[in-house]
Chains A and B, each alone.
Chain A
Amino acid sequence: VVSREADGTYALTARDRGDLEDPRRLVGDLGQGRRGGQLTTEYKPGGQLDIRWTVDQGEAVPTDEQGLVMWSFWYHLSDVRDAVAPYADPSPIFPVDIAWSPQSVLDFQGVENAAFVLSQRTFVLFPDALDNVPIAANAGVVRHEFGHAWFELLTTGVSGEELPWLEEEVQDALALNALNEGFADMVATLTLDDPRFIDPSLPMPSRDVSDKSWVATSDLYPNEDAGLVDAIGGYDKYALGTVYASFVWDVREATDPDTAMRLAVEALVAFGETEDWGNPDGFVLAFLAAASGQTRAAACASAAVRFPELDISEACS
């Protein structure tokens, strides 16, 4: 599979079969792979996969790229499930569908070659037009997409159910989407301890969470009159999301990945309990409330810079 090495580079390496019960169909504890199908208001599964391989030196080697990417995705998903388990049980997310290139009318952009569909427990993968590490085989991207699934579980307490914020105003739903993207970046960056997890596939300096220039200025938030155009891509949810992830990364730099991840999870659960979906900055305040001692001091220092318009006086007093 396409594995991420300790130094952040990628290489093809062999993995134990683990919980992949049927490698040909991609079936196991995590869920089941599918080919095609339709993705509308719900996922209508396509046919079964038919992954082929040859055995060389006792190792199964996929004989086409789709099989290689599907197996790689599976193991990255297994890794991140295990990595986050100490913070909050992710098992309600599983089993999931992993769909290769379903027909869809959703707003999947050309460079978006992996995605998680909220409320449907479905990951979708698309063919990759890039020459670098296939996006769906990029450990960071898989962790980011898993982060969306975990976000849904941590904020609502359930997985695969109707999302409570869909009934909110467009502005509020977009703001929550920004926090969703930010949390997904937190999962990727903290579990890999890498602030630029996308780069091996697609260099994107704009998603570098260690960049000190990311500040939540008012123009990053959705407008009051946000409408359909903003909802289908006019609003850049990644910009504000990167600020949230950068804030947590600042705490990681002052402490360690484990501390930052634990506080992020605790804060997200607390934010979800408020059901104040249109106020994603509530996550920052919950994070500050959950932190203590030197960690809190570092978080307050970061929040003061990253969120200049947020009143943190009470949380940091």
Chain B
Amino acid sequence: MWWWAAAALAGEHGAGKLGTVGLGPGMAATERSAALDVAGQLVLWANYAPRPWGLALDLGAWRHTTGEQPYEEGESLYQLRIVQTRAALLAELATGTQGITFHAGLGPALSWSATRVRWAGRDVRVTALEPGLAGRLALDGPLGPVLAWQWRVGVTARGLQAVDYDTALGLGVQW
């Protein structure tokens, strides 16, 4: 039902639209020392897709906090907080029917993380900038004359050492 509704909207409103930009929530699974850490993420995307090719900018940000109860409340053993962002520029294959577009993209990525560890009066901060490669599969389409939706899954390599995964569903505008 959802698919038919989206296809109907696409048929009515999607033709001729080349660009979308939007924002949406999702999940990011980040490779840590021993396993993947899963956290909520916020994704900003921009597409320019004169089929069959396209170009996309993809930004993601998420935070992971762990350790004892909120550090400010005292008596905490430690607190570890990691803020991570990802930026990727993707060259895409863009194809589809009417206004719904399927994107398969690949391109360079840059991941930045800020880690803060606090315990017993110590406060250690470390940042890391890790270039890598990103891949993304996405579907997007119109939700009326102006609005657009997008669902995507992505994978981002940080150097040669770590691979992160993410997915998001977003709402944006098209022109």
Distance of A65 Cα from B66 Cα, bound (Å): 7
Binding site for A on B (CB under 8 A): 31-35, 37, 66-69, 77-78, 80, 82, 115, 117, 119-120, 122, 124, 126, 161-162
Beyond known contacts A63-B117, A67-B33: 11 more, CB 8 A cutoff: A12-B78, A12-B120, A35-B33, A49-B33, A50-B31, A51-B33, A52-B33, A64-B32, A67-B32, A100-B34, A132-B77
* Contact call A66/B77, Cβ cutoff below 8 A: no
- B126 to A66, Cβ gap below 8 A? no
| B120 surroundings in chain A (CB, below 8 A) | 11-12
**A65/B80 in contact, CB under 8 A:** yes
Q: In the bound complex, what is the Cα–Cα distance between A68 and B82 (angstroms)?
A: 14
| Residues of A88-121 contacting chain B, CB below 8 A | 100-101
Residues 49-65 of A, flagged 1 when their CB comes within 8 A of B and 0 if not, give 11110101000011111
Report which of A11, A49, A70 forms a contact with B119, defined as CB distance below 8 A.
A11
B35 in complex: contacting residue of A12, A35, A52, A62, CB < 8 Å: A35
A133 within 8 A of B: yes
A97 to chain B, nearest CB (A): 13
30 pairs, A vs B, C-beta closer than 8 Å: A2-B78, A11-B77, A12-B119, A35-B33, A35-B34, A35-B35, A49-B33, A50-B31, A52-B33, A54-B115, A54-B124, A56-B122, A56-B124, A61-B124, A63-B82, A63-B115, A64-B33, A64-B37, A64-B80, A64-B82, A64-B115, A65-B66, A65-B80, A66-B35, A70-B34, A100-B34, A101-B34, A127-B35, A131-B68, A133-B68
Is A36 in the interface zone, CB < 8 Å from B?
Answer: yes
Chain A residues within an 8 Å CB radius of B32 = 64-67
- In the complex, what residues of B have CB within 8 A of residue A64's CB? 32-33, 37, 80, 82, 115
Interface positions of A (Cβ within 8 A of B): 2, 10-12, 33, 35-36, 49-52, 54, 56, 61-68, 70, 100-101, 127, 131-133
* Chain B hits for A63, CB < 8 A: 80, 82, 115, 117, 126
Give the nearest-CB partner of B75 in chain A: A9
Tell me, rounded to whole Å, the shortest Cβ–Cβ distance linking A258 to chain B. Answer: 30
Q: B67 and A65: CB pair below 8 A?
A: yes
State the Cβ distance, B99 to closest chain A Cβ, in Å. Answer: 42
Most buried by B among A12, A63, A100: A63
**Which of A2, A56, A66, A133 is B33 in contact with, Cβ under 8 Å?**
A66
Q: What 4 A-B pairs have minimum CB-CB distances, sorted nearest first?
A: A100-B34, A67-B33, A54-B126, A12-B119
State A52–B130 Cα separation when bound (angstroms). Answer: 14
Complex Cα spacing A9 to B121, Å:
16
Chain B min CB distance to A193 (Å): 21
In the complex the two chains form, what is the Cα distance from A63 to B81 in whole Å? 9
Contacts of B35 in A (CB 8 A): 35-36, 66, 100-101, 127
In the complex the two chains form, is A67's CB within 8 Å of B34's CB? Answer: yes
- Which residues of chain B have C-beta atoms less than 8 A from A66's C-beta? 32-35, 37
**CB pair A33 B34 closer than 8 Å:** yes
Residues from chain B with a CB closer than 8 A to the CB of A49 are 33-34
What CA separation (Å) do A36 and B126 show in the bound complex? 27
**Residues of B contacting A68 with CB < 8 Å?**
78, 80
| Residues of chain A within 8 A of B34, CB atoms compared | 33, 35-36, 49, 51, 66-67, 70, 100-101
Most buried by A among B67, B69, B117, B122: B117
Q: How far is the CB of B34 from chain A (nearest CB, A)?
A: 4
Interface centre among B32, B67, B124, by most A CB within 10 Å? B32
Residue of A nearest to B123 (CB): A56
Tell me the minimal C-beta distance from A65 to chain B in angstroms: 5
A11 to B162, CA, bound (A): 30
Residues of B within 8 A of A132 (CB): 68, 77
Give complex CA distance A70, B119 in Å.
Answer: 18
How far is the CB of B132 from the nearest CB of chain A, in Å?
Answer: 15
**Closest residue of chain A to B67, judged by CB?**
A65
A residues less than 8 Å from B33 (CB atoms):
35, 49-52, 62, 64, 66-67, 70
